[in-house]
Chain A
Amino acid sequence: MNAQDQSPELTRIGRAFAVPEFHPWEALCIRILFAVVILQTLPLDPMDSGPFKWGSVLAPAKRIVYDAQPLPNGLAHWVDFTFISNPDLQKPLWIVSLVCLASYVAGRGLVLSLPILACIGIAARTLENSQGAISHKYQIVSLILLVQAVIVVAGASRRIFAGKPAPPPGRRPIDRLNDRLIRYSQIAIVAVYVISGCTKLIASEGEWIANSPYIGLYLVKTDRQNYYNKLDAENFGGEVPVAEQMLAHRNLSRIFMGAGLFLELFAFLALYNRFTALGIGVALVIFHQLVIQFMALTFPLNEKVLWIFLINVPFWIGAVVMLVKAKLISSPGQSAG
């Protein structure tokens, strides 16, 4: 029995899920776009005057104002995060955040800037979630930041405690780090969907698809909640035809809802190659758009990170440009002209 006994197909699949190579320009585009998303999630009041006036355009997430943690969540069981509400902290927080974001975009000093950004985001949203109502709006960005911080800190610790290994030939260490940061961010994103799918199977004891037409009741619930927010009788509070249809045509509902569940469970296939990343990224964006249409539930940050890390528009623009260039060069008519 030798090494060739192992099915090459299986190991090829294993390699496909490993860390791929990303072009330095592609990595830079991803870092710039994600830096904008991070800025939009930081608990900073937009500055309407002074040198940071442009901040009002980029940072819609406002300062969090809570002076207590009545129902602590996560780290709030041990740490009092109410300090983040302190208005005196706003200016230093702005400066630290901007320096860290600049460091992130430049790809330098990540071992400091990423943990700081992760800590600010996690502290602010943990405080918000410790008021009794848990929101998942910012969760995906905090998780990506945490994963990126763990990657850079683990890499730095390995270098310090295990001695600096000789860099493998071919690729610059900074590019290899970028490859890992992007790949593990993609993992954090798909994990969010896989977890959601697994929870559905566990909580319903495997009967989620069978019971999925009852989501119609949740559509009514969401409609009523939206009505009671502002007593908006123009858009909410009346008949909910989709909910009626879901319960009237249960098998059709099961097909549609089942497709959504399978999309969540198999979201990890996005890691296989760039085509599956594009396909699953687009499918998940469509999935979010359908949720907005039917339930008026928005997850804008989830959609943004899907566009940045899975759909990855800069890569596809570059790929199309290179393909067109290659065609033009190889075309005899063009070269004659």
Chain B
Amino acid sequence: MNPFVYLKNSLWAKAAFIVVSVVFFRQFPDFLEWPIILSAIVLAALALAQLLFRDYRQNTWSCVRRSFSHPVAFLIGLVLLCLATRESYPFSHFPMYGDPSPTSEYYYIGSVERPGPGGIVPLPIQTLTKVSSAKTGKMFRARRDAYCKEHSRNREDLTEEDYRAIGEGLLVFLYEKGQKLALAPLPEQWALLHVGISHSSDTGFKEETHVLATKSFSG
């Protein structure tokens, strides 16, 4: 039998080809990159048409064409579109908790009451600015990524000075939002703190805090 006709007609052969292509592509990403990707896409489209329509073997191309307007094709297209566009409202690839790792981190805002490591008192940031602590962290990370892009730098190459500059920008944003809302009196000196969380079976959870930036708003 003609191998191409066999591949067209056998669902298992198509599935096997796609699986082998994916494994091959992962092992040798630079070898025959586009021919393999295109073959896998064409076979996936044929497999979908074969799954959806009974007259696939007689009217193959008509079935492929019809399958593009089938709800399943729409679902696949929407999933691929969201994965490709990533965070681009209203599309999203939902990266939260996507890669659990042995370390985590969070950020919070404090008021500098006196010099020294113990002189920073946490601020109820949502009460003051309506921006939650989780959003504060997201904003800091988004600002850090924008800073890296703007200065053509890698995240790993950022210095304490860079982090201070990014943090100060965020503190100014939050302070101004708090001032605009005027929900409560605001302290004069703000600090952005980073907390790293780790876990070991001996000591349990460990949280290490360090100050990223401080900003005075007096005068």
Using a CB–CB distance below 8 Å, which chain A residues touch chain B? 1-3, 5-6, 8, 10-11, 13-14, 17-19, 70-71, 73-75, 121-122, 125-126, 129, 131-136, 139, 142-143, 146-147, 183-184, 187-188, 190-192, 194-196, 198-200, 202-204, 208, 211-218, 220-222, 224-231, 240, 243-244, 247-248, 268, 271
Contact = CB atoms under 8 A, between A and B. Distances in A.
9 contacts: A14-B72, A121-B90, A122-B90, A132-B138, A191-B79, A211-B99, A220-B205, A220-B207, A226-B133
B217 interface: no
A133 B135 contact: yes
Nearest to B126: A229
B138 A134 contact: yes
A202 B58 CA distance: 37
A224 B207 CA distance: 11
B38 interface: no
Interface in B34-88: 50-58, 70-72, 74-75, 78-79, 82-83, 87-88
Contacts of B87: 73-74, 129, 134
B71 A195 contact: no
Nearest to B56: A6
Nearest to A2: B58
Interface in B150-168: none
A125 B143 contact: no
Interface of B: 11, 50-58, 70-72, 74-75, 78-79, 82-83, 87-106, 108-109, 122-127, 131-139, 142-143, 146, 173, 195, 197-199, 201, 204-205, 207
A217 B83 CA distance: 26
A137 to B, nearest CB: 11
Contacts, number: 207
Contacts of B105: 221
List 8 A-B pairs, minimum CB-CB distance, nearest first: A203-B98, A14-B52, A142-B90, A133-B138, A132-B139, A214-B100, A229-B126, A133-B135
Given A1-B57, A191-B78, 6 more contacts: A122-B89, A187-B71, A204-B98, A214-B199, A218-B97, A229-B132
A221 to B, nearest CB: 5
Nearest to B143: A132
A74 B53 CA distance: 37
A243 B204 CA distance: 10
B113 to A, nearest CB: 14
Contacts of B56: 6
Contact of B79 (A3, A73, A134, A194): A194
Contacts of A200: 97-99
Given A6-B56, A133-B142, A73 B100 contact: no
Contacts of B131: 133
B96 to A, nearest CB: 8
Contacts of A211: 99-101
B123 to A, nearest CB: 8
Given A191-B78, A195-B83, A228 B125 contact: yes
Contact of B197 (A121, A221, A268): A221
Contact of B199 (A73, A121, A134, A216): A216
A10 B50 contact: yes
Given A6-B55, A191-B79, A18 B70 contact: yes
Nearest to B87: A134
A218 B132 contact: no
Contacts of B55: 3, 6
A121 B54 CA distance: 41
B54 A11 contact: yes
Contact of A220 (B104, B109, B143): B104
